[in-house]
Amino acid sequence: MANWLRISSRTVANHIKKRMNKGFMGGAVHVNQSSGLWWGLNRGGPVSDRNGRHIDPLAWNRATFLCVQRFKSTLAEKQHDSFLSSDSDDDNQSVDFPGGKVSYTSEMSFISESSQTRVPCYRVLDDDGDLISDCDFQQVRKEVAVKMYSNMVTLQIMDNIFYEAQRQGRISFYLTSAGEEAISIASAAALSEQDIILPQYREPGVLLWRGFTLQEFADQCFGNKADYGKGRQMPIHYGSKKHNFFTISSPIATQLPQAAGIAYSLKMDNKEACVVSYIGDGGTSEGDFHAGLNFAAVMEAPVIFFCRNNGWAISTNVSEQFRSDGIVVKGRAYGIRSIRVDGNDALAVYSAVSAAREMAINEQRPILIEALTYRVGHHSTSDDSTKYRQLDEIVYWKKARNPVNRFRNWVQNIGWWSEQQETQLRNSVRKQLLEAIQVAEKTEKPPLSELFTDVYDHPPSNLEEQEKHLRETVTRHPKDYPSDISV
Amino acid sequence: MLAIARQRMLGQSFKKILPAVSVLRSYSSAAKQITVREALNSALDEEMSADPKVFLMGEEVGEYQGAYKITKGLLEKYGPERVLDTPITEAGFTGIGVGAAYYGLKPVVEFMTFNFSMQAIDHIINSAAKSNYMSAGQISVPIVFRGPNGAAAGVGAQHSQCYAAWYASCPGLKVLSPYNSEDARGLLKAAIRDPDPVVFLENELLYGESFPVSDEVLDSSFCLPIGKAKIEREGKDVTITAFSKMVGYALKAAEMLERDGIYAEVINLRSIRPLDRSTINTSVRKTNRLITVEEGFPQHGVGAEICASVVEESFSYLDAPVERIAGADVPMPYAANLERMAVPQVEDIVRAAKRACYRSVPLAATA
């Protein structure tokens, strides 16, 4: 009898180019190439931006990099989930409840647990790294593009070499960003130095972009006296106040409500900056995800929640993590503007983050970005992912869907990069890394005095006593202690 | 600070003047009495007024004037940007408060009771307490977590636990527990001004109690040092340590003991971490006997730590085994008669003191 699900299929047909592809983990996702963030609008007719200015559709259609279209990204997409009342001829009267007026209907219908089609994913480069025609994107200057590409290569090499160092027993632990290079580098490139970063743990690329040197990375991994963390933390738990990169903390998702708190503080201070906090697909199951997003929306805080949906949380596949259409659909549940982006497309990530930053700061609101990608590496050096996933799946993503190669094609095709530069860069980075590791390995470990500092703002008397006793004991019984404890 | 120096001087002069028989808790010359609630409210008000970075957050702290009315009038005075009513998520708002503190603000986060802080304990320990150390000094967390702690009356197991021992075992945190109005004002102000994360354990039943306060205590610059216990009552025969509500019980016990010729020295710990081991040990070296009193569970409690400290530093001064008075080792029952049996009473303290002074049959060792 009743047509429970009333979807306006016109809207769907007009605005989605159905292109069945291998898709991201979790199933096929329609790639929306044509209208990017505009997919809710009419195609073909006169087009205006959010200020009502008419835009020449011809100019808009030229898809070369010369055609710069600044994002008019503030138009929220118009969802086609008009399940309740769009085509109905029910009463237009509304009812008052706490929370506002809501119209009522005498027809009982449940909102479907999922939309007929998944939220499309925004991309600008195709799988081969060619710019898609008719796309919206934020133009990138040559210096920025070259820096982005070199950083992606550096990150890749750094990951390989540190991973090997762990395997050789030279460091105790490591965690790679393999497959997610575009996410950390491109998102960092779209931000300013004043934007505050609260990472999860798979975003060292952001720190790399901001100028953390290979030596500084190595020093932290070796926990030597040059480490800014004074040897207090496991490898990869980088932190740098001067780079506005908060020290990585192991418990998952705790950074999300913290990000809302920091964003609230920025808001109170009226700063022209936002907070960017990263989380994985698995982390969104934590209670803190709910609290962080909900609060940020209520407090109208300028924070970008960037979810790296790479399909795996150690061995837990996304199909076992949630039943929703990924993370992007959760944004609306909190009243947060959201977008799904191809995380392996550096230009798309760059454009989306640029637009999100503008909205977050100018409109003082949180934004949710879900970047679809694939975790090529194991979760960490403590994991062997071939135990729970197919080797050929890993190889496919590593070879055919590699974000570094894809961006390389684009930079090379424009003529901003060459084979020669590639070889030079790779050799040079490799050499620098090996040197950095050698230096880090030889550098002394932190002195004994650093065992007791920073517990409190000022060392309390009991710790001063303990330090004194410890020094006396080590001096009196040097044979009982390793030789590298500098008293 | 001038206020603290004057406080010490006053303290010393009182030690000489104070008669052994002291029925009233009249430690000051002024007659003004304020409740602990008023003391906390005025401390928050003054600190918010002095430093624009200080702000409050918690459930019901704003419009409702505070679940226990501690934050009464503050929303009206400072506005919704400084007094935030939070949604019901301890983990959420604690995380947010910690984030704000990372950035440089000074949040005072209220837990409706510290029982609910367990839902946020990861943020308190891993995000707040350890951050300065793990970041090697780059991230400081000037946050205060406050709220009622320990048993109230007839609220059952999930609303009655004492968290002093849990939080005080964690390096990186400071843990304070006031008893009277002077403590409440001075310690809360000190906590808010302190750059480290502070857990501030109040007591619901004390909120409505009035205590006399001097003009100095009422001054807005008043502050008590963190890590210093106070000798509430001097004595020579047995030392009784207590904090929060149990200080009142210990003082009553001391009065009763005096009638039997036992002069107990009552120490109000004020600060659980850092523990004022020197005041405690100095007192035990004088009296040679020690009773520790707390409301919380006995195993791994505050009394266990004090006993260990005294055994380590003043063993040869002890004339009797140290005795711990603590709550019963059961989740708090609800029925009034059972609840009374599960929490220390004044008589328990009196009997323990007499045992320590060999004035009754010693208890057989318990399992």
Residue of B nearest to A451 (CA): B133
| B199 and B241 share one domain | no
pLDDT recorded at residue A165: 96
Contact A230 B136 (CB under 8 A): yes
At B9 the three-state DSSP class reads helix
Residue of B nearest to A234 (CA): B134
Residue B52 lies in a domain: yes
Contact A268 B127 (CB under 8 A): no
pLDDT recorded at residue B30: 53
CA dist B222 and B196 (Å) reads: 19
Residue B366 lies in a domain: no
Chain length of chain A: 487
Name the residue range of residue B7's domain. 2-16+28-218
* Chain centroid, CA A57 distance in Å: 32
Distance from CA of B195 to the nearest CA of A (A): 6
Interface test with A, best of B138, B143, B280, B309 (most A CBs within 10 A): B138
Residue B225 lies in a domain: no
Which residues in chain A have their CB less than 8 angstroms from residue B141's CB?
A: none
Residue B224 lies in a domain: no
- A256 at the B interface (CB within 8 A)? yes
Contact A294 B92 (CB under 8 A): yes
pLDDT recorded at residue A484: 78
Cβ count near B75 (within 10 Å):
20
Contact B101 A261 (CB under 8 A): yes
| Complete DSSP assignment for A424-445 | HHHHHHHHHHHHHHHHHHHSPP
B265 touches B236 (CB < 8 A): yes
| B103 and B59 share one domain | yes
Residue B310 lies in a domain: yes
- A260 at the B interface (CB within 8 A)? yes
| B75 and B153 share one domain | yes
Distance from CA of B94 to the nearest CA of A (A): 8
Which residues in chain A have their CB less than 8 angstroms from residue B89's CB?
A: 287, 290-291, 294-295
Residue B223 lies in a domain: no
| B204 and B292 share one domain | no
Which residues in chain B have their CB less than 8 angstroms from residue A237's CB?
A: 134
Contact B99 A265 (CB under 8 A): yes
**Residues belonging to chain B with any Cβ–Cβ distance to chain A shorter than 8 Å:** 81, 86-87, 89, 91-105, 107, 122-123, 126-127, 131-140, 171-172, 174, 194-196, 227, 274, 277
pLDDT recorded at residue A440: 96
Token reading at B96? 């947010």
Whether the ipTM is more than 0.90: the answer is no
Which residues in chain A have their CB less than 8 angstroms from residue B87's CB?
A: 291, 294-295, 298
Distance from CA of A236 to the nearest CA of B (A): 13
Do the strands B264-268 and B174-176 form a parallel or antiparallel pair, or are they unpaired?
Answer: unpaired
Per-position pLDDT tens, chain A of length 487: 444 334 344 444 444 444 444 445 544 454 444 433 333 333 444 444 444 444 444 443 444 444 344 444 444 444 444 444 444 444 567 899 999 999 999 999 999 999 999 999 999 999 999 999 888 888 899 999 999 999 999 999 999 999 999 999 999 999 999 999 999 999 999 999 999 999 999 999 999 999 999 999 999 999 999 999 999 999 999 999 999 999 999 999 999 999 999 999 999 899 999 999 999 999 999 999 999 999 999 999 999 999 999 999 999 999 999 999 999 999 999 999 999 999 999 999 999 999 999 999 999 999 999 999 999 999 999 999 999 999 999 999 999 999 999 999 999 999 999 999 999 999 999 999 999 999 999 999 998 888 899 999 999 888 999 999 999 998 898 888 888 777 7
Which residues in chain A have their CB less than 8 angstroms from residue B94's CB?
A: 257
A61 to A17, A53, A69, B312, B366: CA distances (angstroms): 16, 17, 10, 81, 86
End position of a domain, from candidates B163, B190, B218: B218
- What CATH number does the domain containing B322 carry? 3.40.50.920
B291 touches B318 (CB < 8 A): no
| B128 and B243 share one domain | no
Q: How many CB pairs under 8 A join A and B?
A: 143
The partner residues of B110 in beta bridges, in order of sequence, read B58, B146
Active site residues of A: 164, 250, 379-380
Residue B22 burial by Cβ neighbours in a 10 Å radius (0-12, 13-18, 19+): middle
A313 touches A341 (CB < 8 A): no
Residue B176 burial by Cβ neighbours in a 10 Å radius (0-12, 13-18, 19+): buried
| B213 and B267 share one domain | no
Residue B164 lies in a domain: yes
| Nearest neighbour of B92 by CB, restricted to A251, A265, A292 | A292
Number of domains making up chain B: 2
Tell which A residues from 113 to 172 touch B, by Cβ distance under 8 Å.
none
- What CATH number does the domain containing B131 carry? 3.40.50.970
| B7 and B33 share one domain | yes
The partner residues of B233 in beta bridges, in order of sequence, read B266
Residue B207 lies in a domain: yes
- A342 at the B interface (CB within 8 A)? no
- A295 at the B interface (CB within 8 A)? yes
Which residues in chain B have their CB less than 8 angstroms from residue A265's CB?
A: 99-100, 103-105
Contact B95 A292 (CB under 8 A): yes
Cβ count near A46 (within 10 Å):
9
Contact A264 B100 (CB under 8 A): yes
Residue of B nearest to A226 (CA): B136
Phi then psi dihedrals of residue B92, to 5 deg: -65, -55
pLDDT in tens, B251-298: 999 999 999 999 999 999 999 999 999 999 999 999 999 999 999 999
pLDDT recorded at residue A206: 98
Residue A364 burial by Cβ neighbours in a 10 Å radius (0-12, 13-18, 19+): middle
Token reading at A275? 């907070």
- A257 at the B interface (CB within 8 A)? yes
Contact A291 B105 (CB under 8 A): no
At A272 the three-state DSSP class reads coil
CA dist A463 and A457 (Å) reads: 12
pLDDT recorded at residue A487: 73
Phi then psi dihedrals of residue A79, to 5 deg: -70, 150
pLDDT recorded at residue A35: 38
Contact B139 A241 (CB under 8 A): yes
End position of a domain, from candidates B177, B194, B218: B218
Contact B139 A246 (CB under 8 A): yes
Is residue A158 within a helix (H) or strand (E), and if so which, with residue range?
helix A142-167
A106 to A4, A90, A95, A99, B322: CA distances (angstroms): 13, 7, 13, 21, 74
Per-position pLDDT tens, chain B of length 367: 444 444 444 444 444 444 444 444 555 555 799 999 999 999 999 999 999 999 999 999 998 999 999 999 999 999 999 999 988 889 999 999 999 999 999 999 999 999 999 999 999 999 999 999 999 999 999 999 999 999 998 888 999 999 999 999 999 999 999 999 999 999 999 999 999 999 999 999 999 999 999 999 999 999 999 999 999 999 999 999 999 999 999 999 999 999 999 999 999 999 999 999 999 999 999 999 999 999 999 999 999 999 999 999 999 999 999 999 999 999 999 888 889 899 999 999 999 999 999 876 656 655 4
Token reading at A54? 């008419």
Contact B99 A258 (CB under 8 A): yes
Helices (H) and strands (E) in chain A, counts: 15, 13
| B234 and B201 share one domain | no
Distance from CA of B87 to the nearest CA of A (A): 8
| B243 and B118 share one domain | no
| B85 and B150 share one domain | yes
Distance from CA of B2 to the nearest CA of A (A): 21
Contact B93 A196 (CB under 8 A): no
Contact A247 B131 (CB under 8 A): yes
Active site residues of B: 90, 159
Query: Residue B309 carries which side chain, given as an amino acid letter?
Result: S
Contact A259 B100 (CB under 8 A): no
Cβ count near B209 (within 10 Å):
16
pLDDT recorded at residue B337: 87
Which residues in chain A have their CB less than 8 angstroms from residue B108's CB?
A: none
A136 touches A65 (CB < 8 A): no
| B251 and B209 share one domain | no
A167 to A172, A173, A175, A201: CA distances (angstroms): 9, 9, 12, 20
Which residues in chain B have their CB less than 8 angstroms from residue A257's CB?
A: 91-96, 98-99, 123
Contact B95 A453 (CB under 8 A): no
| B12 and B123 share one domain | yes
Contact B274 A246 (CB under 8 A): no
End position of a domain, from candidates B157, B186, B218: B218
pLDDT in tens, B329-359: 999 998 888 898 999 999 999 999 999 998 7
A103 touches A85 (CB < 8 A): yes
- A212 at the B interface (CB within 8 A)? no
pLDDT recorded at residue A81: 46
Token reading at A219? 């020093």
Which residues in chain B have their CB less than 8 angstroms from residue A258's CB?
A: 95-96, 98-99, 102, 127
CA dist A216 and A222 (Å) reads: 10
Tell which A residues from 380 to 439 touch B, by Cβ distance under 8 Å.
none
Which residues in chain A have their CB less than 8 angstroms from residue B136's CB?
A: 227-230, 232, 239, 450, 454
Residue of A nearest to B89 (CA): A291
Residue of A nearest to B84 (CA): A299
Distance from CA of B93 to the nearest CA of A (A): 7
